[in-house]
Structure 1
Amino acid sequence: MDDRSYSYDPVGAGAPVNQQAYRMEAGQLWRQYVIAAVANIAVASTGYSMGWTSPVNVKLNNTEESPLPHPITTDQGAWVGSLLTVGAIFGPFIGGLAASKIGRKWGLLSSAIPLFLGWILVAAATNIGLIYGGRICWGVAVGMIFAISPMYCAEIATDESRGALGSFLQSFITVGFLLVYGIGPFVSYSVVAYVGVIFVGVFAIGFFFMPETPTYHLTKNNREAAGECLATIRGRSLAAVQPELDKLEAEVKAAQAKTATIADVFRGGNFKAFYISCALVFFQQFSGINAVLFYMTDIFQAAGSSLDSSIATIIIGAVQLIASCITPFVVDRLGRRILLLISSCGTAIGLGLLGMYFMLAASDNPVVEKLGFLPILSLVVFIVTYCWGLGPLPWAVMSELLPIEVKAIASPIATAFCWLLSFLITRYFSTIAEAVGMFTAFWIFGICCVCAFFFTLFLVPETKGKSFTEIQDMLAGRSSKLEKA
């Protein structure tokens, strides 16, 4: 008898198996990336919906292209832009409930319903009320997807690839933005809507064939389904995933031993995870990303650019996409904190320069003529560094920090908080900018980015390569009892 480790087949056949051979079984890492990519087609669809106003607002002000009998007013345009965020405030609670009751997969798949409904209302719109209704439906879907998608990706990922999969959200949302920026100005109002319907259909059909997360099956005490699911995701045999399944089951059982209520969110390590998550989404929104994108045309005009505004928007969309695609490749090497620090520093610099330019322009300073390049440079610096950290990582960090037992309660609250902030900024930024000056508004956002830098430096823990149990031990201030897998 040699010294290799033998035991019995975990599926119950009773035959001795070589556990060491199973542990050395190579798996297929690409599977979890493909599954996460298919799940994030929903995110890309929301990006298409969110960016819809950029090319379509022009059409709604042109009676020849608009489905409405009259051009929309400035106030109606503001509501069309902001009502999506109103729906998104309520969507996370629907998504959180669906994720815990019917599963992460079916909860995410059900977000296609309000997306489809929204596109039907928008495509059939003959009055502004139908467009309002469609935007609210999209918002509900956005809230659901932003609550469930990071959860789904975190639960199918290995510890080493969790950061990359978590940052898919920002990459895929920019795909949606770029698509609507690219086709919107050059096709009719109806064609934009039809492409949106097709986009949702591609997600619904593709994701239907994807697996549920092992964690959800274990919360329902279905170890067999969890094992089969994990084997599919890892591309390994059922026996080979047993050590990981055992570890995951122990984590889930430990979480289930605690009956989570809203009060539990505000206790101990749970509260630390919660306030860090809320602070990161606060800094994400108060980096001013929505305001900067809203005033993008004005910024190009201020620079004296001869580029058509629709072409300029496509270029910025491409810059967003390229910058967002960098994060998945480096986040699990560099870590979350260093990217958040670089991002908050870069966005602060971009906003500071942007504010300085608009201040000089407002005072008719002659030096402005020599700084025509500055608005575009500032905009590129801001968007690139935002896409490296403040854009994707608050969602990834939230999915890692919140423990299983409170995730279904805390994640929707934090996500709804994010969209409430987004609504306030989208709806009232122009009013505030007129009152205090656009440069002052940009500087306020810049100060928030500086605060984000120091908050990350002193309070955000590094989660790179750590298991969920190790992260919870770190938040609670105790040494982890589990070794890394």
Structure 2
Amino acid sequence: MADRNYAYDPVDTGTPVNQQTFRMEGGQLWRQYIIAGIANIAIASTGYSMGWTAPINIKLKDEKESPLGRPATSDELAWMGSLLNIGAILGPFIGGFAASKIGRKWGLLSSVIPLLIGWILAAVASNMALLYACRIFWGVAVGMLFTISPMYCAEIATDDSRGALGSFLQMFITIGFLLVYGIGPSSSYGAVAYVGIAFVVVFAVGFFFMPETPTYHLLKEDREAAAKCLSIIRGKSRAGVEAELNIIAADVSASMEKTATVADVFRGSNFKAFYISCALVFFQQFSGINAVLFYMTDIFKASGTDMDPSDATTIIGAVQLVASFITPFVVDRLGRRLLLLVSSCGTAIGLLLLGMFFLLDSLKSPVVSSISFLPILSLVVFIITYCWGLGPLPWAVMSELFPIEVKAVASPIATAFCWILSFLVTKFFPSISDSIGMHVGFFIFGVCCVMAFFFTLFLVPETKGKSFQEIQEMLGGGNKKSEKA
């Protein structure tokens, strides 16, 4: 067997070449950012579909603009908003199956089917049943993409850029939100749907020419295909990627020794990765992001501003986008834990201040008039710090923690759990807040963010710059042990 420090040059028939020589080939590592960016156009498309209700609900309430021929009721709009989450609960299992059977690339491309069906239904909708169906189809695509996209980005990334590529999800989803917030109010109902269709087509055409991940090819025991796509991703020669390919192949080879089942997710270090992932998506949803966005108009009204609600929504979308652009630049320098700590602390402060304001407002306190600036300040603090950590990093960390053979089984379960929580918050928080007070809801979410801070401080491992093998050793307490299947 060849020494681990040497590989064989495939051109020069067996001449040993020190792998350090391969590492000296600089390559074009910016390519992975371009490829991940094109992959995440689909995520931007889901952001566009998720944010679609903000401008469209106004049109559906207006008999002249509504395609229904009548104004939609509040109950119909509430169900329409919630049904996307139902589809998103199903989507991860379809996405996980597709990723393991047809590959990460074709799994991502297959999400085009439910996205397009959803937009076609939205474009031709003449009754609420079609709108309900379109929201469910979009939800299926969201669940698929939130499962496969982090997996794809993690598997094409180098160890020192994996956090940045994992953070693309939050950045691109805010691009989608901002786009629909910007064009929705001034465009017709049909025009908004046609832009949504165009969005999906751009992704399908662009991503068709992108490579599969080397990991998937190695799982299918096709080393040459893995080497070819790794050369494309790194911008290096076949010899230049040999050292990295050997490391990936070793990880894949170890994972292929057993086939993961659902039971394996709940054993040993896999279970540790699973409960950390589920806890992070729990704190993400119970940071109250959906509730805050739902009550955004009320928050602006409470501040006494005369700003148009659509303008306020666009401004907040812009704030989200700017904040989301920061994370990819700093996550691989500062680390996941530090950003999660800053994020949970900042969101807790923003929520507790919001809760305090609305408590004073409900008590008719005279102080309210002198602190009318507080709701908007709290909202901006919350949005910015959410986008720094609790928004993007649960997905990035999830894609890093699970071993290769467990990822396709565990990620869909954790992702579905996220969307179950999202459905519960979206569907029931408004009625609960109406009965017990908006301030109580914000206080509850604030406490959850405080819990997120301490959970991260004591239980979330730092994965910055670590290989997948090193992460598994860390989760296993430092010992690389094979666990019984």
Shared fold per TM-score greater than 0.5: yes
2:65 paired residue number: 65
State the Cα distance separating 1:322 from its structure 2 match. Answer: 0.2
State the Cα distance separating 1:7 from its structure 2 match. Answer: 6.8
**Per-residue Cα deviation, 1:281-322 (whole angstroms, up to 9, x for no partner):** 000000000000011011001111111111111000000000
**Per-residue Cα deviation, 1:380-431 (whole angstroms, up to 9, x for no partner):** 0000000000000000000000111111110000000000000011011111
Amino acid corresponding to residue 317 of structure 1 in structure 2: G
State the Cα distance separating 1:61 from its structure 2 match. Answer: 0.3
Q: Identity over aligned residues, as a percent?
A: 73
Alignment of 1:311 with 2:308, yes or no, is: no
1:470 paired residue number: 470
| Separation in structure 1 between the aligned mates of residue 26 and residue 145 of structure 2, nearest angstrom | 32
State the Cα distance separating 1:17 from its structure 2 match. Answer: 5.8
CA-based RMSD of the aligned residues comes to: 1.4
Q: Within 5 Å, which residues of 2 pair with 1:121-140?
A: 121-140=121-140
1:299 paired residue number: 299
| Separation in structure 1 between the aligned mates of residue 20 and residue 267 of structure 2, nearest angstrom | 42
2:333 paired residue number: 333
| Structure 1 residues 93 and 19: alpha-carbon distance in aligned structure 2, compared to 1, 3 A threshold | closer
| Separation in structure 2 between the aligned mates of residue 147 and residue 158 of structure 1, nearest angstrom | 20
2:289 paired residue number: 289
1:323 paired residue number: 323
| Separation in structure 1 between the aligned mates of residue 362 and residue 129 of structure 2, nearest angstrom | 38
Query: Do 1:342 and 1:389's aligned partners in 2 also have CA atoms closer than 8 Å?
Result: yes
| Structure 1 residues 302 and 19: alpha-carbon distance in aligned structure 2, compared to 1, 3 A threshold | closer
| Separation in structure 2 between the aligned mates of residue 8 and residue 342 of structure 1, nearest angstrom | 47
1:231 paired residue number: 231
Query: Do 2:153 and 2:165's aligned partners in 1 also have CA atoms closer than 8 Å?
Result: yes
Query: Do 1:151 and 1:399's aligned partners in 2 also have CA atoms closer than 8 Å?
Result: yes
| Separation in structure 1 between the aligned mates of residue 16 and residue 303 of structure 2, nearest angstrom | 73
1:384 paired residue number: 384
| Separation in structure 1 between the aligned mates of residue 292 and residue 64 of structure 2, nearest angstrom | 29
Q: For residue 310 of structure 1, give the secondary structure of its aligned residue in structure 2.
A: helix
State the Cα distance separating 1:364 from its structure 2 match. Answer: 0.7
Q: Which moved further from structure 2: 8-17 or 93-102?
A: 8-17
| Separation in structure 2 between the aligned mates of residue 438 and residue 29 of structure 1, nearest angstrom | 48
Q: For residue 241 of structure 1, give the secondary structure of its aligned residue in structure 2.
A: helix
| Separation in structure 2 between the aligned mates of residue 211 and residue 354 of structure 1, nearest angstrom | 46
TM-score w.r.t. the length of structure 1 is 0.97
1:240 paired residue number: 240
Amino acid corresponding to residue 151 of structure 1 in structure 2: M
| Separation in structure 2 between the aligned mates of residue 351 and residue 250 of structure 1, nearest angstrom | 46
Aligned residues: 477
Q: For residue 240 of structure 2, give the secondary structure of its aligned residue in structure 1.
A: coil
TM-score w.r.t. the length of structure 2 is 0.97
State the Cα distance separating 1:55 from its structure 2 match. Answer: 0.3
Alignment of 1:113 with 2:113, yes or no, is: yes
State the Cα distance separating 1:15 from its structure 2 match. Answer: 6.3
2:26 paired residue number: 26
Amino acid corresponding to residue 51 of structure 2 in structure 1: G
State the Cα distance separating 1:13 from its structure 2 match. Answer: 4.3
Q: Which moved further from structure 2: 16-25 or 230-239?
A: 16-25
| Structure 1 residues 18 and 287: alpha-carbon distance in aligned structure 2, compared to 1, 3 A threshold | closer
| Separation in structure 1 between the aligned mates of residue 479 and residue 261 of structure 2, nearest angstrom | 26
State the Cα distance separating 1:11 from its structure 2 match. Answer: 5.0
| Structure 1 residues 19 and 267: alpha-carbon distance in aligned structure 2, compared to 1, 3 A threshold | closer
Alignment of 1:102 with 2:102, yes or no, is: yes
2:49 paired residue number: 49
Amino acid corresponding to residue 166 of structure 2 in structure 1: G
2:174 paired residue number: 174
Query: Do 1:181 and 1:314's aligned partners in 2 also have CA atoms closer than 8 Å?
Result: yes
Name structure 2 gaps, 5 residues minimum. none
Q: For residue 185 of structure 2, give the secondary structure of its aligned residue in structure 1.
A: helix
| Separation in structure 2 between the aligned mates of residue 16 and residue 204 of structure 1, nearest angstrom | 42
Query: Do 2:7 and 2:242's aligned partners in 1 also have CA atoms closer than 8 Å?
Result: no
Q: Within 5 Å, which residues of 2 pair with 1:45-444?
A: 45-444=45-444
Amino acid corresponding to residue 155 of structure 1 in structure 2: E
Query: Do 1:10 and 1:242's aligned partners in 2 also have CA atoms closer than 8 Å?
Result: no
| Separation in structure 2 between the aligned mates of residue 242 and residue 114 of structure 1, nearest angstrom | 38
| Separation in structure 1 between the aligned mates of residue 480 and residue 365 of structure 2, nearest angstrom | 59
**Per-residue Cα deviation, 1:60-116 (whole angstroms, up to 9, x for no partner):** 000111100211111101011110011000000000000000000000010011000
Amino acid corresponding to residue 43 of structure 1 in structure 2: I
2:446 paired residue number: 446
4+ runs of 1 displaced by more than 6 Å?
none
Amino acid corresponding to residue 299 of structure 1 in structure 2: I
Q: For residue 368 of structure 1, give the secondary structure of its aligned residue in structure 2.
A: helix
| Separation in structure 2 between the aligned mates of residue 115 and residue 167 of structure 1, nearest angstrom | 22
State the Cα distance separating 1:29 from its structure 2 match. Answer: 1.2
Query: Do 2:22 and 2:243's aligned partners in 1 also have CA atoms closer than 8 Å?
Result: no
